[in-house]
Amino acid sequence: MKMMKANYHTHTPRCHHAVGSEREYIETAIAQGFKVLGFSDHTPQPYPAGFKSGIRMSMDEIGDYTETLVQLREEYKDRIKIFIGYEVEYFPKYFDTLITELKKHPLDYIILGQHHVPDEVEGFYTGIKTDSTERLEAYVDLTVEGMKTGLFTYLAHPDLINFTGDDEIYKKHMSRIVETAVDMNIPLEVNMYGFVDGRHYPSDRFFKFAQEYAPRFIIGCDAHKPEMIRQPESIPGFNEFLDRNKILYGDNVITLKDVK
C-alpha cells in the first residue's frame, strides 16, 4: 500500500470556512502516517479600506497565524515536520505589497490557488459555471503570469475554472498552464477535497490531456477540517481517478521553493 508522507495544503478556521484547531490537524496527520504537514491557509490581501473578505484571514491575523504554527512546530518537532505557508491568489494589484508583508514573518512556501480573476474586489469567482471563452482565457493568463513569478511551490487545483464550453477551446487555453508548469518545473495538484466534496474538480477533462505533457503532479488534501488529512486509498474512487489519468505519486514529498 502506497502512503503519502506529506501534505502541503492545510487550512485553519481563520479563513472562515474551515474548522478545527491546528493541533487537531497535526494529530490527525500523525495518526494517518504523515511525516510532513504544511499549513497553507488562504492568504490575507491588502484590500482597500472597507472591503472585507469572507474567505480569508485579515492582514492583522498574520502574526497570530505564524506564531501559533512556530510554537506547534517546536512542540511536535520529534513527531512531524511542520511548514508555514499560504495559499495565495495572484492579484497583480496587491501582490508586491502582500509578499512584502508576508516576508516579515516566518514563511516557508506559498502555493498558487487562483480563485478570482482579476481579483476578489473587482473580478469573478472561477468556480462558477461559465461558457465564456474570455473568462477562461483571463483565468489562464493570470495563472500563468503568477506561475512565472517563480515564487510558487506548486499550483493548487489547476482545473478550478468551471468552463462548460467546447473541449477544444478548453484544451487550447488550459494547455498553456500545463506547458508553463513543465517549463518551470512546477507541480500540478490533484485536489483530494474537491473529489470528496462532490466538486467539478479534479476533472478527467483536464488531467486526461495534462498527463500527456508529463508534468510533475502532487496530491493535496486541501484540508478544511482535520478528518480531511487522509491517505488516497481511504477516498472511494480516488485511486481509480489517478489510474485512468495515468497520474503517479510517490511519497508526495517535494522541495519547497523559497519566497525571495
Of all residues in the chain, the percent with pLDDT exceeding 70 is 100
Q: How many other CB atoms are there within 10 angstroms of residue 209's CB atom?
A: 16
pLDDT, residue 36, reads 98
pLDDT at 40 over 60: yes
Alpha helices, DSSP H, located in the chain: 22-31, 62-75, 92-102, 133-147, 167-184, 192-196, 204-210, 238-244
Q: Which residues, other chains included, contact 215 with Cβ-Cβ below 8 Å and sequence gap of 6+?
A: 178, 181, 182, 187, 188
Of all residues in the chain, the percent with pLDDT exceeding 90 is 94
Of 16, 106, 20, nearest to 64 (Cα)?
106
pLDDT, residue 1, reads 56
pLDDT at 95 over 90: yes
**Is the C-alpha dihedral spanning 101, 105, 107, 112 positive or negative?**
negative
Alpha helices, DSSP H, located in 43-166: 62-75, 92-102, 133-147
Q: Quickly tell me which residue has 499550483 as its cell.
A: 155
Average pLDDT over residues 92-110: 98
Under the banding of pLDDT at 50, 70 and 90, the label for residue 222 is very high
Torsion of CA 60, 124, 154, 253, to 10 degrees: 80
Domains of the chain: 6-244 (3.20.20.140)
